[in-house]
Structure formats: C-alpha cells, structure tokens
Amino acid sequence: MIEKTRAKTFTKNPIIGTKFTIAVSSAKGGVGKSTFASNLALALNKQGCKVGLLDADIYGPSLPKLFDINQKPESDGQNLIPINKYDIQCMSIGFLTDEQTPMIWRGPMVTSAIKTFTQKVAWKNLDFIIVDMPPGTGDTQLTFSQEVKMDGVIIVSTPQELALQDVKRGIKMFDKLGTKILGLIDNMSFFLGDDGKKYNIFGEGAVKRTADEFDKEFLGEIPISPEVGKQGDIGIPIVQGLPDHLISKIYLKLAEKIKKIYF
C-alpha cells in the first residue's frame, strides 16, 4: 500500500530539450548494452533524427572510449554543454573524471549525478535521447523510473540463461515502476562463420522465449562480429565506421522501427 501511494505522488518530468527518452538496460553486465546504445543512437541519427546519448553508467562509463572523446564539457554558467560527436549530443560522467578514477560513490551521490545530467545539461532540440543505463536494478534505474518521464526501455541480453535470470528481474522492476518496455534484443546471439553456418555460442532462442514468457515484443537478433569490438576500441562504432556492414543494417532497421513508433 505504501508503494502504491508513493507511485501516485511522484511527478515525472521530461528531460528538457528532448521529445522522447528511451533507456537501454540489461540488468546484467557484459552483454554489450553500451555498444548497443551507441549504435542505436547513431542509427537513429542516420534515420534523420536529432539524437542525444546519455551515459548513465556512473560506475563504469563507456561513452568516452566508444566515441573517442577526451575532452571535458563546457558550461554556460548554469548548464553543462553536451559534447557533439558524429552529430550526437553526448554526456557522461567519464567526461568529468580521469579514465582510471574509480567512482566510489554512495547512493545519494549517484542520484545527485543523475539529476545533474537530466536537469542541468543543455540538450538542444532532440527527437530522442538514448540513456545507457548501468547494470542491475539499483539507484540509477529507480531514479530514472520514478522521476524522469521515460517513453520506453529496450532490454538487451545474450541468450545465456545466467544473463536472463537478471533480465527477468529487470523486466519485473520496470513493470512494477510502470515503465513501458519496448522489447528485448538478443545480442551476440550467434557467430556467422566463413562457412556460412550459424554457431550459437551462448545458446539459442532463450531471449525470445523470455520475451514470450513476459508478453513483451522480441526486437530481433544481433550476431557476434569481431568488427564490432574493433570499431568500438578505436572509438568509431560500427554504424558510423562501417555503415554497409550486416550488423549496421540491423541497427538501421531497428532504428527505423523505433522512429515509426513515435513519429
């Protein structure tokens, strides 16, 4: 009864300067969530949308490496100015700290940082802001779900049962908090060999079965490719660096689908 009362009294505010906020979550680390978020942002941009990318993973920010950004954001005296890279407006705690500095923060400090990124950043005329959420179901997820008007969340997982145990917890959390789940993505779903055969390294079909189990949409499979890792390591995600690659085309089709949902 207490939780229901609190839910009714919360006022969810949109991120100023944006039309739609889409979170990318996994509830499990190591499934390629940050790579997915970065490439989805770039794919939406190539669909003609104005896009921002907020790296909300306070403890393990990936955006500085994925986009090869080595500068600090400027301020207009009141708000931080997003760093523009590949025509994407970007913000990350990693822009404000040294790459090897550990973020030894308690919950209230994390919440304060998230509020800064959602209320004190001068996002400009965005159609979409993609939020790269940290793993787990902790303070960051609660802050966003309770206080920020999120228009949808995409849940990323590999087909391993171990990963899906955490994904199921994440689905239940977002459902309980009233956040719309757009669907599930099966990332690193298989390896396509030179012989043309699919090799299901982490299992097969488990993400789709989970989507069916919870009555959520299955958004598709993204195979493993060494090029994804290579492009991320040099700071040019595959959609930007290799737009004609099979995986880039998958992202572009997904971005087209998401765009049609909102426009």
In the block, residue with structure tokens 């919360």: 10
| Interval 15-33 mean pLDDT | 88
Q: Which residue type does 8 have?
A: K
pLDDT at position 103, please?
Answer: 57
pLDDT at position 2, please?
Answer: 32
The answer to whether the CB of 241 falls within 8 A of the CB of 5 is no
Q: Under the phi-then-psi rule, with left for phi > 0, alpha for psi from -120 to 50, and beta for the rest, what region is 30?
A: left
Q: Which domains does the chain have, with CATH numbers?
A: 10-262 (3.40.50.300)
| Interval 164-176 mean pLDDT | 88
Distance, in Å, from the CA atom of 242 to the CA atom of 225, rounded to the nearest integer, reads: 12
Kindly compute the dihedral angle of the four CA atoms of residues 182, 179, 112, 168, in this order, to the nearest 10 degrees.
-70
Q: Please give the angle made by the CA atoms of 120, 180 and 121, to the nearest 5 degrees.
A: 10
pLDDT at position 98, please?
Answer: 66
Tell me which of 6 and 38 has the higher pLDDT.
Answer: 38
| Interval 8-36 mean pLDDT | 82
Using DSSP's 3-state secondary structure scheme, residue 97 falls into coil
Global pTM value:
0.90
Distance, in Å, from the CA atom of 165 to the CA atom of 33, rounded to the nearest integer, reads: 16
Phi, then psi, of 199 in degrees rounded to 5: -115, 115
pLDDT at position 101, please?
Answer: 60
